[in-house]
Structure 1
């Protein structure tokens, strides 16, 4: 996905996605100018239906220190006169001058100023003084590695090294324990540990039952170790216990609060895992959304939506 213009536009986009649940919402959308035939960008485009008739709503955003004046209202009206939009919404982070607001009303343009105080009895009121945190855990060293195998129906603990060879059930070499460790750490659910960790260097214990070796196939393989002796024997690896030295970095994120078209929201930005991160929380009644936008050093962005049931982030594609 290409880079997006700014955090304010992104906040408007995520709030509008939540507001227009039954509509299609696109950010940085391109529309064709009826006069020039050239492509023009609209900050946020909402495609919906009213009485079974398609309606396009253009949303233009501005994030400046001063209130927006008549000039911007007139410029956006002229722009959309030559675009196939049916309605125009202007969102100004700093508000509108009295003349600009009057001009918008005259031309039936909705002028919106987010950032107004959240009602004391609103669903976000209790969160207004809170901060979010970005927490990163970096693995530095593997200090202890043990496995559990089964010999003649009895389980046995065995010390392992990263160089131990791992086999499949047929005795074919899969790779080394180091590969299994990397896969285990990638798939381990460390959320509870990260959530309670303190800032700085520390140790974490990762225990995994029934580890599986990634093979690139649909199903990973059950790993086996070879027991040396007069008649080598393959022993299934039933469990792994890793002790890792890690570094935990905690970055607080101040949250700004406001309302947009009657919808309360919180948002803040920072950095996590080497990426820029914007979080936007919106709530309509009992329905809440948490969206995250990650931005790479090259300016590419990916958008994610929180799945509250699994406490995970799921990628979402742009509405089309």
Structure 2
């Protein structure tokens, strides 16, 4: 997926995507000009059905600090006259001049602009002066490993070393315990540990129940330790405690909040802010409309490639969104 445009366009895209449950919403969509045959970029396109008929809505966005003038309305009208869009919506972060509003109304163009800041008693009141932090963790060194093994129906806690060999249930040697620690770091959800962590150098304790080791082309398997006895036998590893010296970086995120008023936006309240997580740029967008809240996140790596995620309403786990963009002209 190629890099996308400014934060305000992304905010409008996420809001519309969360509102238009029965429609297809595409950011930076490429539509073909009926006159020139060239592809033109439209900030957000919503394709769905209205009164049983297929409808394509084009949304153009501007995040400037001053009100948009009549010239932008005329420019966008001329552009969409030759594009396969049935309705044009213009979204301006700073609103429209009086002449621009009159011109848009004359040509049946819907205009949308943020209203007053979020009310004290509104659904996103907690985001009026939000305290949002990005937490990053760097593991400097392993301090200790403790394993919980099962022996004769009892659980015993033992100190382990990274070079200790792990085995599968059938006795197959799997590799050192260090591989399990590494895969645990890679796949662990650190949200609870980080939520309780303070910034700076500290010890981070990670508890893993029923640790499993990933296997190429198959499911992760339970691991066992070899007990040197007569005869030797395998002991299942039921738990693992990893203690490491770590550094937690706390970076406050400055959030902007407001409400979008206009046709098709259902007076949506929103708040957004950006920062870095593990060297990757992240944009957070909170929206509330029609009694529902959404959290969307866009990550942009060092090469400019972006991925979009949305939080599950119940677990708040981030789930990747499926979307595709083509590179093209505007």
Which sections of structure 1, spanning at least 5 residues, go unmatched? none
Give 1:159's aligned residue: 159
CA distance in 1, matches of 2:154, 2:14: 56
**Aligned partners of 1:137 and 1:174: how far apart in 2?**
29
Contact 2:147 2:157 in 1 (8 A): yes
- Is structure 2 residue 289 aligned with structure 1 residue 280? no
Corresponding residue for 2:322?
Answer: 317
User: How big is the alpha-carbon RMSD for the aligned residues of Structure 1 and Structure 2?
Assistant: 1.9
* Number of matched pairs: 320
- Decide whether the 8 Å contact of 1:42 with 1:60 is kept in 2: yes
TM superposition shift of 1:221: 2.1
TM-score, normalised by the number of residues in structure 1: 0.94
Change (3 A) 1:282 1:155: closer
2:176 maps to which residue? 176
| Contact 1:123–1:285 (8 Å) recurs in 2 | no
Task: Give the Cα–Cα distance (whole angstroms) in 1 for the partners of residues 156 and 138 of structure 2.
Answer: 31
User: Shift of the alpha carbon at 1:300?
Assistant: 0.7
CA deviation vs aligned residue, 1:45-99 (integer Å, no higher than 9, x gap): 0112111111111001112232211211111101000001011111112222211
Q: Distance in 2 between matches of 1:302 and 1:319?
A: 10
Q: Is the 8 A contact 1:138 1:247 kept in 2?
A: yes
Closer, same or farther in 2 for the Cα pair 1:139/1:49, shift >3 Å? same
For the 8 Å contact 1:278–1:294, the answer to whether it is kept is yes
Indicate conservation of the 8 Å contact 2:144/2:244, yes or no.
yes
Deviation at 1:189, TM superposition (A): 3.6
Confirm or deny: 8 A CA contact 1:87 1:109 kept in the other structure.
yes
CA distance in 2, matches of 1:209, 1:45: 46
Per-residue deviation, 1:155:
3.7
Q: Which residue does 1:301 correspond to in 2?
A: 306
SS in 2 for 1:85: coil
Distance verdict in 2 for CA 1:74–1:243, change over 3 Å: same
Q: In 2, Cα distance between the equivalents of 1:215 and 1:200?
A: 35
TM-score, normalised via structure 2 length:
0.91
Task: Answer yes or no: is 1:44 the counterpart of 2:49.
Answer: no
Structure 2 gaps of 5+ residues are 262-266, 326-330
Is the contact made by 2:120 and 2:128 (CA closer than 8 Å) also made in structure 1?
A: no
2:136 corresponds to: 136
Contact 1:199 1:249 in 2 (8 A): yes
Once the two structures are overlaid, the 10-residue window that deviates more, 180-189 or 190-199, is: 180-189
Tell me if the contact between 1:15 and 1:260 (Cα under 8 Å) persists in the aligned partners: no
Structure 2 counterpart of 1:112: 112
2:220: which partner in 1? Answer: 220
Q: What is the CA–CA distance in structure 1 between the aligned matches of 2:196 and 2:278, rounded to whole Å?
A: 18
Q: How many Å separate the matches in 2 of 1:54 and 1:104?
A: 23
Q: CA deviation at 1:101?
A: 1.4
Q: Note the C-alpha offset of 1:229.
A: 5.1
- Tell me the CA shift for residue 257 of structure 1: 1.0
Map of 1:193 onto structure 2? 193
Give SS of 1:17's match: helix
Structure 1 counterpart of 2:328: none
Distance 1:274 1:105, change over 3 A: same
* Alignment-derived partner of residue 270 in structure 1: 275
Change (3 A) 1:224 1:260: same
| Structure 2 Cα separation of the partners of residues 111 and 151 of structure 1 | 70
**Residue matched to 2:57:** 57
Deviation of 1:25 after TM superposition, in Å, equals: 0.9
Q: Distance in 2 between matches of 1:95 and 1:297?
A: 33
Answer with 95-104 or 77-86: which moved more. Answer: 95-104
